[in-house]
Chain A
Amino acid sequence: MNASVCHPAARLARTAALLVAAVAVIAGGPPTRAAEPSLADLQRQLAQLAASVQQLSEENRALREHQAQVDRQLAQLGAPATGAPAAPGAAAAAQAAVAANASALPAAAATAAPSSAGTPVSSSLGSLGGLRLWGYGELYYTHPVDEPAQTRMDLARAVFGIGYQFSDRTEFNSEYEVEHAVSSADDVGEFEVEQFYVDQRVSDAVTVRAGLFLMPFGFLNEHHEPTNFYGVQRNFVETLIIPSTWREGGFNLHGDTAGGFGWNVGVTTGFDLSKWDFQPEFPPYRTALELEDSDIAPLQASHQELALANARHLSQYVALSYYGVPGLTIGGAVSSGKAVAAGPGDPRVTLWEGHVRWTPGPFDFTALYARGTISDLAATNELFPGSPNPIPSSFYGYYLQGAWQAWEHGDYRLAPFARFERYNLGASWAGSSGPDIPTGLVPMSATPGDFGYWPKYQDRVWTVGANFYITPHVVLKADYQWFDENSNFKRYDLGLGLAF
């Protein structure tokens, strides 16, 4: 949840595009050898220029009106976008918009990429005396090519958010989610509170936040609206290594500096390893979709989500980002704290990540690396010899992604992308030589005759696909994924996502 800067950002994007086009027109299109322009050429160029200037001026007026509104809102909200220093560009856009600086335009272009509609557009709905509503949701169809029986279609999540502005200094935000459409004791879905916090702007430089809030790690965790990422499903690194949507209870301080740095430091609840399943009888997942939903990855399995969380040990984190250079975001974060143990020992969980995003022109490049470690597990794993799922001492993932704003027409926008990612849920082990995984065919479930292979816990995944935006708030997605190790996970996916 961030400040409502999407509309101005979109407009900035269009403005930027028009400006570039105008400049190109003035420059005579693609660079050519200097040739003597004829009078007719000059007149035509002048007419085009006049038309462009007219359009620009209209845009500018609308933009300025909106800017004023945003300024008012930001003054009220105390720049909440600064609570997310790792934000890809929305924070940059907010700052840039406030600065009303032409140099902010490339950054705005960056935000015109997926994140343009990722922030709640409460202003478009009108604020009912301080109350704000927003939401997002996504459906997908996933078809594992080699296992068509595992084809699924799902309403992955339907999320709504409620916020309230108590004063120009104090603000409340909350987000609620229904996963898999139907939530009950007998159904696969879940209803959960994803965020529930109060922000208190103590000064222009510092805001205090307390409650249940998203951890500022990576790109996706704080900006996981479907319009904010490429690909139908969230990427594996930011699902398995950084356990999006990762939220903890506690408090933090965050703010921005004039030099373009964002910072966020907090104390939160930690992880509970005592819930670890050392003895799954059947493979915990058999498709890529199940891998993401299985909660088998180390931090997925042990995060507490502030549900009667054990708070004997608290964790601390620091997150920093830099977005002073337009079109470039660099960020990193580290969290560390003791966890509830699963056996003898005193384990400490540490997760750190670093990410970069660069948006030159129509391109959007991102790279992220995340690594987690858990200490003092030898004695615990030694109690479970033969386990196919001991607790790993380290796990990591990274990805490289490139996207391209290929085509745009009015609200429609097509952005193909490609991504390579690697994840390893068991880079090292203590007290165990690794998971004791059956190599041959094994029963996959209690259904007789249902045989398959135990999946591998690390992989390299290639994804190609495209996001097609119908509006900045509604996106159709398609992608195809190949897996090196679990090659039977190969699949294509279609998706529909929206955010408002």
Chain B
Amino acid sequence: MWAWRAAGAAAAACALLNACGGGDGSGGTPPPPTGLSARALAGQALFFDKTLSASGQQSCGTCHVPARAFTADPATDHGLPVPLGGRSMDLPGFRNTPSLLYTRFTPAFFLDDDTPTGGFFRDGRASSLAVQAEQPFVSEFEMANQDAAEVSARLQASSATLQLFVAAFGTAVLSDPEATLAAIGSALAAFETEDPRFAPFSSKFDAWLDGQVALSSSEQNGLALFNNPGKGNCTACHPSVSQGYSSHPLFTDFTYDNIGVPRNWSIPANLPDPKSPVSGVPLDYLPAPLNVPADAEYAYYDLGLCGPFAPPANDPNPRPDLSHSSWLCGQFKVPTLRNVAITAPYFHNGALPTLHKLVQFYVTRDINNNTGNNPYAVPAGPGGNPYQAVGTFFLAAEGTPDLYQYNDLPVLWDGNVNVGETPYTLPTFAGGNAPTLTAAEIDDLVAFLCTLTDGFDPQNPGSYNVPAQCAPGAE
């Protein structure tokens, strides 16, 4: 009898630890473990249940695709950097879908010595996983339920999901739609917290930290550049060491930054005449401008922390109102760099399509200022600006260089852009500026970033699914 119990205990421990089999090196998702609680199992079902959306075609997993580190696949979004949703699946969103991997380590929003830190969504306006998970259900351009009652009705019509939901929460909660939605949120949060697929820590970098594999010289040099405060200085916001939220490095300190990313004209809301690229309907759900001066160059700006999206009304621990904190305009949360090689496009607005271009942006943002007034110019000529040909990343809608540097911000908030830290700018001195990274160093840094993709098996390194942009020679 005890032998059975021992075996059962071992199997349960094995499943919980997910240490015995189950993991694969193909870059796909391993089969779900069996050690999830009832709430988490309900959450798993809710996560993939498309019938809970008004269109019947969208679940959490539609935009948070497991194979893409739980970010969106642009191919399913009409090639847009933002997801399509709504009742007819034709309404574009505003921001690049963030990855759900490792989000469970995010702290609730707080001000650390006046430094905003933590919170869910790219502007930290939801205080927990559960609160964040509820919002897409009732968002007009996402799962498009009118209210909690419609969500509850759809849940009760989805028998398999309902069965798991009732197993976790009972039936009494179904009589109150708000409580039902809150329970849905907590189930999804339990799923994201308990399921080890959301925090595998199985990248090549993790294997190297454990001493199981050696990094190539390019990757090693890339890590050194990542850490060096005079070179990449990436670790200043994307720490390559644990900050205490997890024993593993998360490559984010959950603070916010305004790095003056270029305006992404592929986002329909950014166009002068915002409408759906699928059906042509106007986007009447655009939020009213907040902190955008009347004489701004463009009509719509996403200003992040000081921007127009308010904390959810039912948040038990709401983020303070930051709409008057104008120095925070343009700040978005530092995302994790884990799996960054497979989560293109990059930044809150998906403005940069590849890692190589992203690092180039960091290096050339202020050097290649094309507006005719550049305090950081590198003098031309031999040994001058090696990135002259790269040009500026700040383009107008027509694709030509924009008149405005930092064109995704009203000129009024240009002063909020982080210009003081490496690698953006260096002091002007006799002879002008110099870029912080050479082209070879950019390649090495990208090579290091490619080691942060989960799914590496030290016993079988050849099976590592190398993303296309990480292949040698990729640009």
Contact = CB atoms under 8 A, between A and B. Distances in A.
Interface of A: 186, 278-282, 344, 379, 383-388, 436-443, 445-451, 454
A438 B421 contact: no
Nearest to A283: B229
Nearest to B417: A448
Given A438-B231, A441-B429, A454-B230, A279 B239 contact: yes
Given A281-B233, A441-B426, A446-B421, A383 B209 contact: yes
Given A443-B420, A446-B420, A386 B227 contact: yes
Contacts of B211: 344, 379
14 contacts: A278-B241, A279-B240, A281-B236, A383-B209, A386-B227, A386-B228, A387-B228, A388-B229, A438-B228, A443-B420, A443-B421, A445-B420, A450-B420, A451-B426
A386 B223 contact: yes
Contact of B235 (A279, A445, A447, A451): A279
A441 B227 contact: no
In this complex, the member of B209, B211, B227, B422 whose beta carbon has the largest number of chain A beta carbons within 10 angstroms is B227
B227 A437 contact: no
B396 interface: no
Interface in B364-386: none
Nearest to A344: B211
A384 B427 CA distance: 27
B427 A438 contact: no
Contacts of A344: 211
Nearest to B209: A383
A31 B420 CA distance: 71
B159 to A, nearest CB: 51
Contacts of A280: 229
B419 interface: yes
Given A385-B227, A442-B229, A281 B241 contact: no
A385 B223 contact: yes
Interface string B443-460: 000000000000000000
B70 interface: no
Task: Give the residue among B113, B225, B420, B425 with the most A Cβ atoms within 10 A.
Answer: B420
Contacts of A439: 230
A449 B426 contact: no
A164 to B, nearest CB: 40
A420 to B, nearest CB: 32
Contacts of B221: 385
A440 B240 contact: no
Contacts of A441: 426-427, 429
B220 A385 contact: yes
Interface string B90-116: 000000000000000000000001000
A386 B230 CA distance: 10
Interface residues of B, number: 28
A384 B229 CA distance: 12
B11 interface: no
Given A443-B420, A446-B420, 14 more contacts: A278-B227, A279-B235, A279-B239, A280-B229, A281-B233, A282-B229, A383-B209, A385-B227, A388-B230, A436-B227, A436-B228, A441-B426, A441-B429, A449-B427
Nearest to B220: A385
A186 B209 CA distance: 36
Nearest to B215: A385
A447 B241 CA distance: 25
Contacts of B225: 386
| Pairs of residues from A and B, 9 with the lowest C-beta to C-beta distance, nearest first | A438-B230, A386-B224, A386-B227, A448-B420, A385-B224, A386-B228, A281-B236, A451-B427, A441-B427
B415 to A, nearest CB: 9
Nearest to B228: A386
Contacts of B233: 281
B226 interface: yes
Contact of A436 (B209, B224, B419): B224
Contacts of A386: 223-228, 231
Given A278-B241, A441-B426, A384 B227 contact: yes
Interface string B224-259: 111111110101100111000000000000000000
Given A278-B241, A281-B233, A442 B224 contact: no
B426 A279 contact: no
A387 B429 CA distance: 26
A450 B422 CA distance: 12
Best-surrounded residue of B235, B239, B429 (most CB of chain A within 10 A): B235
Nearest to A281: B236
Q: Identify which of B419, B421, B425 gathers the most chain A CB atoms within 10 Å of its CB.
A: B421
Nearest to B236: A281
Given A279-B239, A383-B209, A448 B419 contact: yes
B9 to A, nearest CB: 31
Nearest to B113: A186
B230 A442 contact: yes
Contacts of B235: 279, 281
B223 to A, nearest CB: 5
A71 B433 CA distance: 73
Contacts of B239: 279
A384 B241 contact: yes
Contacts of A437: 230
Given A278-B241, A448-B419, A440 B230 contact: yes
Contacts of A279: 227, 229, 235-236, 239-241
Nearest to A388: B229
A443 B241 contact: no
Contacts of A385: 220-221, 223-224, 227
Please indicate which of the listed interface residues A385, A445, A446, A448 has the most CB atoms of chain B within 10 Å of its own CB. Answer: A385
Contacts of B227: 278-279, 384-387, 436
A437 B228 CA distance: 8
A446 B424 CA distance: 12
A287 to B, nearest CB: 19
Contact of B420 (A186, A379, A384, A449): A449
B259 to A, nearest CB: 13
A488 to B, nearest CB: 16
Contacts of A454: 230
A371 B225 CA distance: 32
A386 B422 CA distance: 15
Contacts of B113: 186
Contacts of A383: 209
A437 B227 CA distance: 11
Contacts of A384: 227, 240-241
Interface string B199-233: 00000000001010000000011011111111101
Interface in B390-433: 419-422, 425-427, 429
Nearest to B226: A386
A434 B51 CA distance: 59
A437 B229 CA distance: 8
Nearest to A436: B228
Nearest to B239: A279
A19 to B, nearest CB: 62
Contacts of B240: 279, 384
Give the one of A186, A344, A386, A451 with max B CB within 10 A. A386
A498 B216 CA distance: 60
Nearest to A438: B230
Contacts of B241: 278-279, 384
Given A281-B236, A449-B420, A438 B224 contact: no
Contacts of B226: 386
Contacts of B429: 441
A158 B114 CA distance: 30
Q: Which of A279, A383, A451 has the most CB of B within 10 A?
A: A279
Given A279-B241, A442-B229, A447 B426 contact: no
A364 B224 CA distance: 49
A387 B236 CA distance: 12
Contacts of B223: 385-386
A383 B229 CA distance: 16
A280 B239 CA distance: 11
A464 B233 CA distance: 40
